[in-house]
Amino acid sequence: MTILDKLADHAKERVEAEKKIVSADEMRANALALPKGGFEFEKALAKNGLSFICECKKASPSKGVIAEDFPYLDIARQYEAAGADCISVLTEPKWFLGSSGYLREIAANVSIPCLRKDFTVDEYMIYEAKILGAKAVLLICSILSAAQIERYIGVCDDLGLSALVEAHDEDEVRTAVSVGARIIGVNNRNLADFSVDTDNSRRLRELVPADVLFVSESGVTSREDTARLEAAGADAVLIGEALMRAPDIAEKLRELKGGSV
């Protein structure tokens, strides 16, 4: 069993526990009662030039605790002030030490779109993301069937949310394209051994139609990385650890953006 399998199994347990507090029908009704979103996340990625999705992440399975001190709201505000286009917020509690509360508070205090970064295994989590204030959710090909991804994209469309469909290899990219994903993210991290290779994004970019937004995730640490990925056709990069470990988050983001804000 891979770490991804463990994360997915734990997510299923979390959802079942949450349904005992707020039923699936109630969660769905509450989400649909809110104004429909305007797909703000994908609009932010569609602008000219490379867009930056900056991540609030306290820990990860591969690195353990990344940020002992985790003033998540200050971090999110720094990202916004330094020119981030979107913010990714980890809500997975066991391995990433995330929290739904982090997302709710960040989404209420910044004006740029937030992505709920979690292991979506049930449409319940999509309705919950809407209520928490997210403008997008993550759908991971490795833990979902093509039919599930297609159905979950439909749920997102009903709510006005964007779906970032994550792939790791050629087959998963083809699956994402086949189900109509409008945003495809390629994870550069090998989940078997946690090695990172940003060439993974460059190799897989050619399999993604030009009218589908392309995001490179993981292992982006330098201006050289962002420039090469932009040249390879990436519309956006998702960056977490490099920013979380930086002594000056705003300065690091300006560096990754090529000195511009």
Tell me the catalytic residues: 55, 57, 117, 166, 187, 217-218
Query: What is the Cα–Cα distance from 55 to 88, expressed in whole angstroms?
Result: 4
Q: For residue 160, what are its two tokens?
A: 């006005």
C-alpha distance across the termini of the chain, in Å: 43
Characterize the bridge pairing of strands 64-65 and 59-60.
antiparallel
Query: What is the Cα–Cα distance from 94 to 108, expressed in whole angstroms?
Result: 24
The answer for residues whose C-beta is within 8 angstroms of residue 232's C-beta and 6 or more apart is 201, 202, 205
Characterize the bridge pairing of strands 183-187 and 162-167.
parallel
Q: For residue 73, what are its two tokens?
A: 């709201």
DSSP structural state of residue 21 = T
The DSSP string of 59-75 is EETTTEES-SS--HHHH
Helix H or strand E segment including 149: helix 146-159
Characterize the bridge pairing of strands 59-60 and 162-167.
unpaired
Spatial CA neighbour of 123 closest among 247, 220, 201, 19:
19
Beta bridge partners of 69: none
Beta bridge partners of 64: 60
